Structure 1
Amino acid sequence: MGRLKYLAGLAAALVLFSGMRAGAAEPALSAKSAALLSGATGAVLWERQGREPLPMASTTKIMTALLALEAAEDLGDPVVTITQEMTQVEGSSMGLLPGDQISLSGLAAGMLLSSGNDAANAAALFLDGSLEAFAQRMNQRAQDLGLTGTHFVTPSGLDDEGHCSTAVDLGLLAREALRLPAFLELCSSRTWEAAWAEPEKTVTLENHNRLLGSYDGCLGVKTGYTQKAGRCLVSAARREGVLLIAVTLDAPDDWEDHKALLDYGFSQVERYRLRGERWETALPVAGGEREQVKITGELGEVFALAPGDRDSLELQAVLPRFLYAPVGAGETVGELRALLDGAVVSSVPLQAAEDCPSP
């Protein structure tokens, strides 16, 4: 297929579909800080003290696992030999012992499902030699992502002076992490078979996220708790192609908070279709009885968007620069797409509207 053609002004080409849901009341939450974001654009759809820096416990491991999985892709998923230093950390664990050997991606699984502090420290020490050096890597990535309210000190999320983030920043971090297929696969799994190279064994890891399997469309992400941070949770859910990310910090009733946040977000979803009944253009034809043929597409498909995402849409016609005769009426020659952050949210085939035989 030839060059991609973008058309401006898609917002003006949209019409709100009459089947839109009625809005819901704003959520009543237990959380000290909360935010709801569009997973497609990162737009903040709702927040309460969402930009206040607070301790974030093991939701820290979103960054640690992201960096570990990216390194695993770049380095061919190396096997890590566990040292005494790697296991000398309190709190939750995936059960690593000195002398164990496990892949870097296996450590990421231990972080995201078992919330293993040992797995987080092991990945940090393997990649950068010290926890301090790995924290620099974390903070550089946070800076690159524009997470201005975030500062990392520990890879595990154990409390330390200056270790903090915001609900909005954690939502943006989760959005970035969910773009990595390996991260999405792990965080959305209720269980995972982690394979040790030494001793040779397989351990079933269980995800701590209660929303998996109980909330329609939930993709998991990361839980967290320390006495200082309280209960922290980052979750994501996708329905009708709409991805929402919810974050709560210091939330005694975090599971119910997230159901309320996500329910609220999905209640605000708007349904659109492209204005008009048909889209038309023309393409030149090589070796035909006429110089060009009319190309059309039906525009009736309805698609869903999170609030505020409408203005970020792009319309893209995927067509060759020209056609070769013969061309038959009704022949599919391309596609018209509505794109949001590079992802296709709606598409219709583009077809020749008339015959163009060879001479």
Structure 2
Amino acid sequence: MYKRGICIILVCIMMTLTLSYGNEDLKSIQIGGESAIVMDVETGRVLYEKNIYKKLPMASTTKIITALLAIENISLDKKVKINAQAEGVEGSSIYLRAGEEVKAIDLIYGLMLRSGNDSATAIAYEISGSIEDFAELMNKRAKEIGAKNTNFVNPHGLHDDNHYTTAYDLGLITREALKNPVFKEVVRTKFWTADKDGYKHFANKNNILDICDGGDGVKTGYTRRSGRCLVASATRNDMQLIAITFNDYDWFNTTKMLLDESFNIYKPYTLFDEKQIITKTRVLDGKKKEVSLKPFKSSIIPMDKEEDKKLLTVIDMPKALHAPIEKGQRIGKMTTYLYGKIINTTYLIANESIEKQSLKDKIKDFFGIGQ
């Protein structure tokens, strides 16, 4: 084992920590919702907040995690036999019948586009065998994501006093879901025809897809107890942002305004490019004496016009490596801070493969042959 070295790249030396974390113009926006948040999908950075840790009912936005679990646990082409408990569930429905067989992907589209409570129930029974066991799985997955102030008791969001989340937690859950390409495609789809003759045609209820530039998701929710809840997303200039509002009568206009203002104030800032050589480290017993390191992927973060002066990136990597080394091998890690908070983490990988020296190579090295 080799000692690890800590190398610090100062994008800008941070002399003092700024107490505020976000743009003052955006922070000053007043909305009618009880709670709201704007979050960057790539980094999880919170750009706007109002009561983001307040526990509230979230109605059918619950179905975001139900859809994610369906995608993660059921083959999309599988024909799911509809459990009798899924037929006739109150509220919004795609009118499933007990015993019929429906492809999992169609259940997911019915869940997210038409907000089918029966679809949510069918998914729960298919994965876990009961509502209670599925709720346990939902809570387990939520905790893995980091949603610590959330509790699910059902897969659809019909009201229960013990069924709640926060704007921050729901942002984390949505961010995780949007990293899944199937989920991302489903929620931005405006119209879906199920794979069954004359069966179902699902039109998306989410008006954000039409009224917001770059609108691409995610989910509406409403009960009398929760009020109107909306998780909206949009992508512009390689940035995808999530806007959430709870108990907001003007839900679509609120989230559209928050997204528009956030995109106006925050611009994409390329922190690192995946082709960029960041640093090098020594290689022992290799045919080359050092290896170049680059980021695992490009990192684009939302920044206002002054914030690049407050960035600090720390590199954690070994001082030396043993050959052989494979191209793409994970070598170290870069952590970037803004206002003293982590805003981005990415791995450093080897830019090339380096073979181990043979005995002949070592002898040549010893005598300086070929140098």
Q: What is the TM-score when the length of structure 2 is the normalising length?
A: 0.70
Identity of aligned residues (%): 35
Instruction: Indicate whether 1:188 and 2:188 are aligned.
Output: yes
Partner residue of 1:235 out of 232, 239, 243 = 232
Q: What is the distance in 2 between the residues matched to 1:78 and 1:302?
A: 36
Matched, 1:222 2:224: no
Q: Deviations over 1:271-314 (max 9, x none)?
A: 4678xxx9897999xxxxxx999x9x9xxx99663468985878
Q: Which residue of 1 aligns with 2:66?
A: 64
Please list, as runs of the form range in 1=range in 2, the aligned pairs for 1:307-326 lying within 5 A after superposition. Answer: none
Equivalent position of 2:250 in the other structure: 253
Structure 1: how far apart are the matches of 2:7 and 2:220?
Answer: 41
What is the DSSP-based 3-state SS (H/G/I as helix, E as strand, rest coil) of the residue aligned with 2:118? helix
In 2, Cα distance between the equivalents of 1:68 and 1:201? 24
Assess, with a 3 A threshold, how the Cα gap between structure 1 residues 230 and 160 changes in structure 2: closer, same or farther.
same
Match of 2:208, SS?
Answer: coil
Question: What is the aligned counterpart of 1:39 among 38, 41, 58?
Answer: 41
CA distance in 1, matches of 2:240, 2:8: 24
- Superposed displacement of residue 216, structure 1: 1.5
> Matched residues in 2 for 1:171 and 1:242: separation?
15
Name the CA distance, whole Å, in 1 between partners of 2:185 and 2:346.
18
1:52 aligns with 2:49: no
Alignment of structure 1 residues 1-359 onto 2, 5 Å: 9=8, 12-13=10-11, 24-25=25-26, 26-73=28-75, 77-196=77-196, 200-266=197-263, 267-269=265-267, 271=269, 305-306=302-303
8 Å CA contact 1:186, 1:192 repeated in 2: no
The answer on whether the counterparts of 2:12 and 2:311 sit within 8 Å (CA) in structure 1 is no
Task: Look up the SS of the partner of 2:124 in the other structure.
Answer: helix
Q: 1:158 is paired with a residue of what secondary structure?
A: coil
Question: After the TM superposition, which of the residue ranges 179-188 and 38-47 deviates more from structure 2?
Answer: 38-47
| Preserved contact between residue 240 and residue 304 of structure 1 (Cα < 8 Å) | no
How far apart are residue 157 of structure 1 and its match? Answer: 0.5
> Aligned partners of 1:115, 1:212: CA distance in 2, in Å?
16
Name the count of aligned residue pairs: 319
Preserved CA contact (<8 Å) 1:312 1:341: no
**1:232, CA displacement in angstroms?**
0.3
Q: TM-score, normalised by structure 1?
A: 0.72
Structure 2 CA distance for aligned equivalents of residues 94 and 225 of structure 1: 17
2-side partners of 1:155 and 1:85: how far apart?
13
1:302-336 CA distance string (max 9 Å, x none): 966346898587899xxxx99xxxxxxxxxxxxxx
Letter in 2 for 1:229: S
Cα distance change on mapping 1:23 and 1:79 into 2, 3 Å: same
**CA offsets 1:37-69 (integer angstroms, 9 cap, x no match):** 121122322211111111100000001111011
Which letter maps to 1:114?
R
Find the residue that maps to 1:213 and give its secondary structure: helix
Tell me which amino acid in the other structure corresponds to 2:216: L
Q: Is the 8 A contact 1:31 1:248 kept in 2?
A: yes
Deviation, 1:77, is 4.0
C-alpha distance in 2, partners of 1:155/1:273? 39
The unaligned stretches of length 5 or more in structure 1 are 1-5, 16-21, 285-290, 323-337, 351-357
TM-superposed deviation, 1:139: 1.0
Structure 2 residue matching 1:233: 3-state secondary structure: strand
Q: Which amino acid aligns with 1:160?
A: D
Kept after mapping to 2: 8 A contact 1:231/1:250: yes
Alpha-carbon displacement from aligned partner over 1:7-30 (angstroms, at most 9, x marks no partner)? 9545x2379xxxxxx974432211
Q: Could you report, residue by residue, the CA deviation over 1:229-265 in whole angstroms, capped at 9, with x for unpaired residues? A: 0000111222222221111110110111101211232
Decide which moves more: 168-177 or 209-218. 209-218
Q: Secondary structure at the match of 1:195?
A: coil
1:186 to partner: Cα distance: 0.1
CA distance in 2 between partners of 1:139 and 1:176 (Å): 14
SS in 1 for 2:222: strand
The letter for the 2-side match of 1:48 is K
Query: What corresponds to 1:287 in structure 2?
Result: none
Displacement of 1:133? 1.1
Cα deviation for residue 155 of structure 1 reads 0.6
- CA-based RMSD: 4.3
Q: Matches of 1:57 and 1:44 in 2, distance apart? A: 23
Q: For 1:68 and 1:158, locate their aligned partners in 2 and report how far apart those are by CA, in whole Å.
A: 19
Alignment-derived partner of residue 330 in structure 2: none
Structure 1 counterpart of 2:57, which letter?
A: P
Shift of the alpha carbon at 1:223? Answer: 0.5
- On the 8 A contact 2:94/2:119 being kept in 1, the answer is yes
In structure 2, relative to structure 1, the CA distance for the partners of 1:47 and 1:23 (3 Å cut) is closer
